[in-house]
Amino acid sequence: MIRDALLLVLLLAQLPATALLLSRLLRGPSRYPPLQPKTPTPEQLGAVSVVVPTLNEAERLTPCLDGLSRQSYEVREILVVDSYSTDRTPELVKTAQEADPRFRLLNDDPLPKDWVGRPWALHHGFLSSAEKSDWVLGIDADTQPQPGLVASLLETAQREGYDLISLAPQFLLKYPGELLLHPALLLTLVYRFGPAGETGNRPDRVMANGQCFFCRRSQLAQVGGYTVARRSFCDDVTLARAIAAQGAKVAFLDGANLLKVRMYEGAAETWREWGRSLDLKDAASPGQVWGDWLLLLAVQGLPIPIVLLLLRDVISGGSAPVVLAAFSLNVLLVLIRVGLTFAISPSCDLTHASSAWLFWLSPLADPIAVLRLFLSSLQTPTQWRGRSYEKG
């Protein structure tokens, strides 16, 4: 039968994809443990400059400013680089400065044609930061830094010899649609690169998160600041891979105990804003992008539809061996996905969620997440955070 032949082809594709997935997930128990809050030591005094890029962030900036103000004396300065916001963002920063003189409000220069706004603002902050600071920490406006964050980053980097650390945060989820879609999108990263705390990836497979990007000043200077990522809509991964390629020791670690983030409001914004950059095409070759997508299709997008398609045949009995084999393999992949839902649950704060139980049904959104990455891989963003960009 044609269907059995198609199932055999699918099975031959899924078997090596499953083996690759398992090789990544089985390294999870040996990953670097989640970071914990730390208290700074005297020799860390003034070691870090923090840079926060902003553009019309008034609705979510206050928790970020409050969290940064609770960091201790290891933070020399907090530079908020504002791209001429038209809301109350500048006023919020000025109010924070009255209580904490480490805050400084800067405006970046007009955006050059060959730059994306976020790396341009971060580059301006890097160039404006104090040269006496040995480290530069990029923090996004939608984050909520917890006490002890910066001291923990410093202590970990100094103990382990890291030149760059970025953190996977704890995501604050609220609305039903995002409770389904966000975990599915998040797990596309785990399927491709392994869990946070995985430090053994090649430079071209390094993961990073610009919401908390902690780097030695000397390493940033060596690559020319953020210039290498100037046209990238995933500038964090682009920059991290460029730094790793120069021999630096780079880590993407679990920071759920140190950093919370409220990224997007609802499923529509999650689909539109996060989905368009998760393909990471600006930091990878086309072969990597499409190879990763085929892996996701095989082990994340297809298992639930295949199980549902074959369930009646298996229950009725008398199924061909290839049907039983395909059904069994895809049941295994669904069980892996269910297990990963439990594994990522500490990375998702559901305390303010309506219908929090929908989080546990997020495997049903996997085909949608894989479709979103397919569409993203075909497109070049022309709009981002209220700015328009030319293609090319």
| pLDDT score recorded for residue 380 | 78
CATH (residue range 32-174+195-262): 3.90.550.10
162 phi/psi in degrees, rounded to 5: -75, 145
Query: At 29, is the pLDDT very low, low, confident or very high (cuts 50, 70, 90)?
Result: confident
Query: What pLDDT is recorded for position 385?
Result: 64
What whole-number percentage of the chain has pLDDT above 70?
Answer: 97
**Residue found under tokens 């971060």:** 122
Residue 67 has pLDDT above 70, yes or no: yes
**Span 80-113, pLDDT tens digits:** 999 999 999 999 999 999 999 999 999 999 999 8
- pLDDT band at residue 319 using 50, 70 and 90 as cut-offs: confident
**What pLDDT score was predicted for residue 390?**
64
Structural tokens at position 194: 């392994």
CA atoms within 13 A on the CB side of 201: 26
Q: What is the mean pLDDT of the chain?
A: 94
Domain positions in the chain are 2-28+286-384, 32-174+195-262
* pLDDT score of 235: 95
d(CA 318, CA 253): 48
Q: Where do the H-state alpha helices sit in the chain?
A: 2-25, 62-69, 89-99, 117-128, 149-160, 176-193, 217-222, 235-245, 266-269, 286-296, 303-316, 321-344, 366-378
> Angle 359-363-366 (CA atoms, 0-180°, nearest 5)?
120
Distance CA 195, CA 343 (A): 10
At which residue do the structure tokens 């809509």 appear?
233
Q: DSSP letter at 274?
A: I
* Three-state DSSP state, 262: coil
What average pLDDT does range 221-240 have in this prediction?
95
Asked whether the CA dihedral 106, 109, 115, 116 is positive or negative, the reply is positive
pLDDT digits (tens, 9 = 90+) for 299-310: 999 999 999 999
